[in-house]
Structure 1
Amino acid sequence: MHSQAHDVGAPSLLEALRTGTALLHVALEKRLPFFSERLDADWYVRLLEAYYGFYQPMESALYDSGLIPDGFDTALRVKTPTLVCDLNALGLDAPAINTLPRCTELPTFNTPAACLGALYVLEGATLGGQVLRREITQRLNVNADNGGAFLNVYGAETGRRWKDFLDYLGVQPLDAPARQRAVDAARSTFSCFEHWLDSQEVLL
């Protein structure tokens, strides 16, 4: 009871994550080239290669941690295989994909709360992908069949899976320090992602 009383009036996990990552989210969105007039097919391929270079080690580290709280279906939500399919459709075979550079400076996932913070960023990105998908279809004629499936990774289930994820977050019994660890991990995920994309020279 004491810890619950201590948390009265504290923001929910979702509120803390939204507030704690808002500025980083906006800053990264401004640098993504999806709406740039200069974006062409070659840049798009390099962008997906860079996304793969982050998502592959990121998802491996998260899912292999053994610390994700029960209730998160990793098989349903893993995104790296879809990136591989897109890269295949864009002309990269397995040996070429295996030689792509991969991010080695990832956030540390040493607590369940940290895992939740990182998952919040990865799951939230599926919503933004809906807007990006429409833009890329119009600009580059790329769709789910020829290299754009990642931007619509959940398809018609996007809204439902986001709501399910929010429900999942809402039942996690995190105290104030744990919520802060979740926010720190989410912020670190945004920062690591931007630094990685920057190092691959695919940002504006």
Structure 2
Amino acid sequence: MGTTRDHLRQGTRVIHERLHHHPSFSELMDETIALSGYFALLTRLFGYHHGLELALDSAVFPERPQAPPVDRRSQRLLQDLEDLGPSGSDKAPHTQTVKLAAIESYGAWLGVLYVREGSMMGGRALAAKLDHLFGTQLAGRRFFQGGGGDGAAWQRLCRALDALVEPAAQDQALKAALASFELFDAWMMPREPITRSGV
């Protein structure tokens, strides 16, 4: 068996590739998403990321100091939602949050974090797809644009994963990563359709 990262890459490849074509992102990718649809997408993403943060924060293991801290990416989503104006005030995104089962091992904790941190790696490419809504301004796309420390956090996570060498712990990481991907798929799919520009 290779490194934990190899284990995760190979084990999640199918669902990862499937989620690349998730309908919730298709209109963002082809730059036809309307402002109302974008707001709906951010609201869904808030519910997922906030739920992951709560689960990651509540799980405490002796090994955690070796891993990166859990950045509050959901706060960027809230700021983006506020940037879109008072029309979103009745949506109460803070009440729409996924519920994860308790994370019971450090390996599983890293598996959940792997999904959360990995989802940010292509964010800037997605941020560039929003010029038709925001021009050159940052407001409204802070979540996808990310922060200056994202790369360092990813590298620190990679080191923590590389230090996870026990096969049982690697399997725990993979199981948690797959569950997190499946939860994302289930959470995003049943929501109302995204509205295309001009419709």
1:54-69 aligned at under 5 Å gives the runs 54-67=48-61, 69=64
1:149 aligns with 2:145: no
Q: State the identity %.
A: 24
The offset of 1:190, in angstroms, is: 0.6
1:20 paired with 2:11, answer: yes
In 1, Cα distance between equivalents of 2:135 and 2:104: 38
* Candidates 115, 120, 123, aligned match of 2:117: 123
Q: What's the TM-score, normalizing by structure 2?
A: 0.84
Q: Does 1:163 align with 2:158?
A: no
* Structure 1: segments with no counterpart, 5+ residues: 1-9
User: Do the aligned residues in 1 keep the contact of 2:31 with 2:129 (CA within 8 Å)?
Assistant: no
Partner of 2:97: 102
Q: 1:88 to 1:66 in 2, by over 3 A?
A: same
User: Partners of 1:196 and 1:202 in 2: how far apart?
Assistant: 13
Task: Work out the CA distance in 2 between the residues paired with 1:24 and 1:99.
Answer: 27
- 1:107 and 1:166 map into 2 onto residues whose CA distance is 24
Residue-by-residue CA offset, 1:97-146 (whole Å, 9 max, x unaligned) = 35642223x3541111111001001111111112111112x332266632
Q: Output the TM-score relative to the length of structure 1.
A: 0.82
Distance of 1:118 and 1:134 partners within structure 2: 27
- Greater shift after overlay, 48-57 or 157-166? 157-166
Shift of 1:182: 0.4
Paired with 1:109 and 1:134, the residues of 2 have a C-alpha distance of 35
Amino acid at match of 1:87: L
- Cα shift at 1:191: 0.7
Check whether the contact 1:17–1:182 (CA below 8 A) recurs between aligned residues.
Answer: yes
* Distance in 1, Cα, partners of 2:6 & 2:129: 29
Query: Which residue identity lines up with residue 147 of structure 1 in the other structure?
Result: G
3-state SS of the aligned residue for 1:74? coil
Q: CA 1:160 to 1:123, structure 2 compared with 1: closer, same or farther past 3 Å?
A: same
8 Å CA contact 2:77–2:142 kept in 1: the answer is yes
Deviations 1:17-41 (A, max 9, x none): 1111111111111012221354111
The verdict on how the C-alpha distance between 1:167 and 1:197 changes in structure 2, with shifts beyond 3 A counting, is same
- Residue 82 of structure 1 deviates from its aligned partner by 1.3
Name the counterpart of 2:133. Answer: 140
Pair 1:25–1:98, CA change in 2 (3 A): closer
